[in-house]
Amino acid sequence: MKIAVISDVHSNLPALEKVLEAASGMKIVCLGDLVGYNPFPNEVTELLRDKGIPSIMGNHDLAVLTGDTKGFNPIASWAAEWTIDALTEENMDYLSELPVSYDNEFYAVHGSPNKPLKEYVFPDHPPKILSSFFDRTTKSVIALGHTHIPYQIDLDEKIIFNPGSVGQPRDMDPRASYAIFDTDSRSVEINRLDYEIDEVSKAIKEAGLPGLLADRLHLGW
Ligand code: ZN
């Protein structure tokens, strides 16, 4: 079975629509950060909910639920405050029920198995710590989000991968990023898709969100 793994959608509706279209017919799993940064938090939350896509909680989802943006840069905080005002009560309720982990065909958390909502795991993470993540699960494949950088790390027979970010890629490639995990061959494929960045940057400006959030989408940073 092929599963499309998406993460860090960050209220970017045009990017999410493109990815869902490409993944149609596949099971889809979302690794958190549904909201934050971009101007379509309700549309994104409702689309994921209505399609019955299992999602886990990200640090930006938690920040809009608690109002606690400690550790966020000023622009991320600004966007979180804006999102709190914009989100409907129904969508807040949906976010508040997101679980912290996904444990089915593979194990997934937003950040790291040790600190699910906080720790960033990049490909150069110490191998010893990467191996220790498997103490927390019986699964041999772990999927992580949070960094907005797509990668695959092979540790003997075990795999850790990150699908990158749908809504705010940070590897200098502005295209939406997602992964397809094949449960039979246990292979991971990272895919990139063009989408209408101009539509989002225009909406960012109209919403009164910082212009830097629009600029960075075009740069993939
Ligand atoms: Zn994120």
Ligand 1 centre to CA of 131 (Å) is 23
Verdict on whether the full-model pTM lies above 0.85: yes
pLDDT score of 198: 98
For residue 61, how far is its CA from the centre of ligand 1 (angstroms)? 9
Calculate how far, in angstroms, residue 18's C-alpha sits from the geometric centre of ligand 1.
18
pLDDT at 211: 96
pLDDT for 124: 96
Q: Distance from the CA of 173 to the center of ligand 1, in angstroms? A: 16
Separation of CA 33 and ligand 1 centre (Å) = 5
How confident is the model over 124-146, as pLDDT tens digits?
A: 999 999 999 999 999 999 999 99
| pLDDT for residue 22 | 98
Ion ligand 1: residue ranges with CB closer than 5 A = 8, 33
pLDDT at residue 117 in the model: 96
Percent of the chain exceeding pLDDT 90 equals: 100
Average pLDDT over residues 64-83: 96
Q: What is the pLDDT of residues 110-123, one digit of tens each?
A: 999 999 999 999 99
pLDDT of residue 86: 98
Cα(147) to ligand 1 centroid in Å equals 7
- Span 79-110, pLDDT tens digits: 999 999 999 999 999 999 999 999 999 999 99
Q: Which residue(s) pair with 155 in the sheet?
A: 158
Q: How far is the CA of 57 from the centre of ligand 1 (A)?
A: 11
